[in-house]
């Protein structure tokens, strides 16, 4: 294997778009609030058409485009519906899933229904779900989509009245008629399936209600399931990903030799496991498949910026990827789809300041041409530069994160700064990618600091579990240590620092001004948790055994400790002004969390602002609501820090 970041040995001619003219006017907040225009652009197996998710009339639709003249049409779901995901199942047919608005919630909810349509608009029909067959189940594609003899594998998760899920069935569905045949039933609830290159379901895996991973394998169709990895019995955390071309070896995501994360080969016959790649700083972040989808040629990780490791450096896919990376130095290049023969390849180029553009590479002409920009109204040159950072926490634990500087101020010192804390928190991380929240703040003159504190994903299972029972404690210390690091670097003016975050990040923002009342000048809590004991009784998490056990695992059950770490119970320590942003339809963190803190702040006479949107959920979805939120945030930050946007 050859590990690479930005090297190449192939020269390509590129037909690039003319960059936007740079203007001095401030980038409108509406530009950051807008939904991405294009997403998930894929070429058909024969290279004649493109499919993409696009925003038309404020709705996510499926766009089908003929490559010869770039003309086509949009597939609009039912009123109130939006397209979630799609898959080519033949050169002329596409499956797609939808979400629909329910009740007062403005953000659509995934319904678990599958639909299909031909590239000429014919053959549109419901394929799976209650509108198709009257069955109350959640249907999903077994990934990657494999079509064999005109049939594709889907998974059905039947609603059985249990809040802890059911044992799903793998079904082989005719892509034209929708006729189905059950080919496997998972031996564990809520399992995901993995099929081999012949389309036979070979693995089923899931985390149980005890939050321990179990992986089952069967030798062939009809064979009995056998438990091959059981985390509850001391086995390592394993996840099956794919098979080698001959189906004799399975690829697994595994801990690797450093315990951070790796890629392993599992011999199907001998059941011996061998580590192929081990991450030193970050775990596996994705696979690069061969053009015919039957093997793996490279893998991706993101210790700071994106990194690529070649599994097969002689593969044509690897050589093409290396060549494309040379043509776009300093950018993240991802092959997103291709024809089966590799003659045409769609790839995405993006970075921390660039939302991304899809290109089409033609192997015959050796040229790449621009297809679609994800956010065409964004000029990357006017966005803030995003740099990876590393620092040591007070106990020596290595932390990674990102620092976004205001446009044109990469070397500036003594800037006002916003510490922007991600949600989750477990298994979630910040990436080197375009973040509209961070860029919005940077456009108004703020340095933006993001840190992947312990508990975050991407750095190994041990790093994530180091955050268990550490809400408001070591996890918060990591955020504080990162803030003090930015001060020590001279980047941040210590008298003009605010803290902001959503969900868990909202909790961390308020806990920040509780624990460090002299460090932050203000806090913005966005759909945040403020009373930890309430998490056991309100919201959707405690409504199942799985969710209840999750809370016990990550929070602990000592009510006194949870109260001591709850911002709502400690408002007497807060000196800084507070802004609370709440969605009235939030099921994950219900409005009572924000209302509880608001009441406590009011009783204590602490200055605070309240932004409540009745139709929003766990994060604002409507563009006008998001723009209004951004405007109120910017005004609040300016008042609190005494800063004025450039």
Average pLDDT over residues 217-239: 96
Domains for the chain: give ranges and CATH numbers: 1-33+306-383 (3.30.2310), 384-641 (3.40.50.1820)
How open is the CA angle 101-107-109, to the nearest 5 degrees? 55
pLDDT the model gives residue 345: 98
Say if residue 192 is exposed, middle or buried (CB neighbours under 10 Å; 0-12, 13-18, 19+).
middle
Write down the pLDDT at residue 492.
Answer: 98
Contacts of 87 (CB under 8 A, 6+ apart): 94, 95, 96, 141, 145, 152
Provide mean pLDDT across the span 622-627: 96
Which H or E run contains 554? helix 545-554
What is the average pLDDT score of the chain? 93
Alpha-carbon gap, residue 238 to 230, rounded angstroms: 9
Mean pLDDT of 587-606: 95
pLDDT of residue 8: 32
Query: Read out DSSP for 586-602?
Result: -SSS-THHHHHHHHHHH
* Average pLDDT of the residues in 1-20: 35
* Token pair belonging to 577: 């002004």
**pLDDT at 352 exceeding the cut of 70:** yes
Share of the chain above pLDDT 70, in %: 96
Q: How many CB atoms lie within 10 A of CB 247?
A: 16
- What's the count of helices (H) and strands (E) in the chain, helices before strands? 11, 38
Least confident of 122-136, 204-218, 307-321, 404-418: 122-136
Residue 80 pLDDT level (bands cut at 50, 70, 90): confident
CA distance 111 to 586: 18
165 versus 344: which is more confidently predicted? 344
Q: Of all residues in the chain, what percent carry a pLDDT higher than 90?
A: 87
Confidence of residue 24 (pLDDT cuts 50, 70, 90): low
Residues 260/282, Cβ–Cβ less than 8 Å: yes
Residue 290 has a pLDDT of 96
Token pair 């009339």: residue: 57
Q: Which band of pLDDT confidence, cut at 50, 70 and 90, is reported for residue 164?
A: confident
* Residue 14 binned pLDDT confidence (cut-offs 50, 70, 90): very low
Q: Token pair for residue 49?
A: 């058409």
| pLDDT for the residue 644 | 57
Containing H/E element for 402?
Answer: strand 398-404
Do strands 398-404 and 49-56 pair parallel, antiparallel, or not at all (unpaired)? unpaired
Q: Answer yes or no: is pLDDT of 136 > 90.
A: no
pLDDT at 1 over 80: no
On the question of pLDDT at 2 being above 60, the answer is: no
Strand pairing class (307-310; 296-301): antiparallel
DSSP string, 445-493: T-EEEEEE-TT-SSS-HHHHHTTTT-TTTHHHHHHHHHHHHHHHTT-EE
pLDDT at residue 20 above 50? no
pLDDT at 646: 47
At 179-210, the pLDDT tens digits run: 999 999 999 999 999 999 999 999 999 999 99
The yes-or-no verdict on residue 9 having pLDDT over 80 is: no
End-to-end CA distance of the chain: 48
Q: How many other CB atoms are found less than 10 A from the CB of residue 131?
A: 14
């Amino acid at each position: 294997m050859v590990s690479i970041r930005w090297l190449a040995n192939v020269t390509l001619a590129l037909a690039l778009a003319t960059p936007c003219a740079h203007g001095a006017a401030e980038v409108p907040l509406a530009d950051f609030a807008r939904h991405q225009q294009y997403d998930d652009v894929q070429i058909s197996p024969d290279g004649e058409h493109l499919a993409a998710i696009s925003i038309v009339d404020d709705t996510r639709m499926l766009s089908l485009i003929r490559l010869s003249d770039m003309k086509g049409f949009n597939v609009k779901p039912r009123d109130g519906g939006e397209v979630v995901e799609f898959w080519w199942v033949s050169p002329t047919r596409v499956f797609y899933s939808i979400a629909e608005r329910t009740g007062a919630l403005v953000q659509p909810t995934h319904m678990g229904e599958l639909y299909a349509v031909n590239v000429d608009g014919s053959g549109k029909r419901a394929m799976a779900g209650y509108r198709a067959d009257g069955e109350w189940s959640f249907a999903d594609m077994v990934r990657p989509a494999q079509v064999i003899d005109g049939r594709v594998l889907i998974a059905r998760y039947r609603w059985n009245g249990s809040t802890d899920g059911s044992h799903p069935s793998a079904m082989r569905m005719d892509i034209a008629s929708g006729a189905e045949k059950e080919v496997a039933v998972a031996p564990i609830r809520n399992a995901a399936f993995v099929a081999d290159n012949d389309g036979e379901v070979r693995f089923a895996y899931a985390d149980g209600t005890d939050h321990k991973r179990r992986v089952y394998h069967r030798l062939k169709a009809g064979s009995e399931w056998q438990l091959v990895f059981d985390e509850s019995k001391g086995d390592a955390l394993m996840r099956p990903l794919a098979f080698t071309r001959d189906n004799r070896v399975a690829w697994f995501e595994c801990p690797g030799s450093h315990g951070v994360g790796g890629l392993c080969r599992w011999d199907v016959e001998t059941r011996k496991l061998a580590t192929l790649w081990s991450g030193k700083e970050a775990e596996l972040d994705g696979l690069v498949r061969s053009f015919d989808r039957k093997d793996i040629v490279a893998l991706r990780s993101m210790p700071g910026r994106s990194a690529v490791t070649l599994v097969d450096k002689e593969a044509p896919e690897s050589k093409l990827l290396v060549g494309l990376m040379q043509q776009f130095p300093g950018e993240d290049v991802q092959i997103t789809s291709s024809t089966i023969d590799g003659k045409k390849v769609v790839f995405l180029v993006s970075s921390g300041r660039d939302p991304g553009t899809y290109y089409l590479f033609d192997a015959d002409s050796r040229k790449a041409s621009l297809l679609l920009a994800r956010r065409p109204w964004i000029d990357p040159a006017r966005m803030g530069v995003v740099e990876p950072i590393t620092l040591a926490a007070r106990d020596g634990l290595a932390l990674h994160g990102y620092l976004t500087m205001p446009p044109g101020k990469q070397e500036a010192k003594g800037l006002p700064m916003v510490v922007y804390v991600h949600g989750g928190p477990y298994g979630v991380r910040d990436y080197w990618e375009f973040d509209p929240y961070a860029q919005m703040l940077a456009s108004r003159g703020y340095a933006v600091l993001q840190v992947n504190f312990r508990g975050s994903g991407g750095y190994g299972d041990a790093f994530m579990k180091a955050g268990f029972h550490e809400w408001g404690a070591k996890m918060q210390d990591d955020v504080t240590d990162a803030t003090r690091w930015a001060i020590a670097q001279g980047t941040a003016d210590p008298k003009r620092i605010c803290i902001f975050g959503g969900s868990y990040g909202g909790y961390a923002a308020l806990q920040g001004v509780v624990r460090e009342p002299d460090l932050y000048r203000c806090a913005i809590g966005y759909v945040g948790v403020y009373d930890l004991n309430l998490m056991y009784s309100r919201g959707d998490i405690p409504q199942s055994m799985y969710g209840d056990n999750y809370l016990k695992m990550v929070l602990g059950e000592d009510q006194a400790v949870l109260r001591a770490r709850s911002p709502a119970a400690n408002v007497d320590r807060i000196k800084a002004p507070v802004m609370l942003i709440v969605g009235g339809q939030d099921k994950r963190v219900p409005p009572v969390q924000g209302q509880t803190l608001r009441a406590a702040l009011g009783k204590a006479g602490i200055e605070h602002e309240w932004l409540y949107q009745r139709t929003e959920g766990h994060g604002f979805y409507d563009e006008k609501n998001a723009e209004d939120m951004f405007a109120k945030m910017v005004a609040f930050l300016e008042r609190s820090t005494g800063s004025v946007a450039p």
